[in-house]
Amino acid sequence: MKQHMGFALFSLTGNIRRAINESLARHAINAVQARILGILTHHPQPVCQRDIEEVFHCSRSNISGVLDTMEKNGLIRREDDLTDKRRKNLILTKTGMDISSLCEEVLDEIDDVLCNTLTDEEQQAISEMFGKMTGALERYEQDSLEKRS
């Protein structure tokens, strides 16, 4: 019987997402919010809602709802961009910075759980395989777009 790699990876990512969300729930946050906090923490340039929409490939209304909740919970605030009046920059609050640090600890913990089952060589090999698979999917998506045009 043929093993469907996509389904196996889909199942693994579902399990990882569930473990992350369960751990993050202790801090009243979910994986999407944690990822946004990570982007804001590690991105050197100002980030606006459109940047987040592009990262997540989501609609304005979906991201707006998440950001509204984050703002209501005191994790971020929106500020006018000084150079573009149409743009609102997303700024981490002190609470957002603290929660972002906790999120990184959770992600490190889950990563340790996953990686401790593998040798250094296996970790290197799987990283290389994921890179190849990602490249193959990107080429597939590009080819599909070109065929539709």
Dihedral over Cα of 132, 130, 33, 101: its sign: negative
d(CA 111, CA 71): 28
Site of tokens 């369960």: 22
Rounded to two decimals, what is the model's pTM?
A: 0.80
Q: Which amino acid is at 92?
A: L
Per-residue pLDDT of the chain (149 residues; tens, 9 = 90+): 677 888 999 999 999 999 999 999 998 999 999 999 999 999 988 899 999 999 988 888 899 999 999 999 999 999 998 888 888 999 999 999 999 999 999 999 999 999 999 999 999 999 999 999 999 999 998 888 888 87
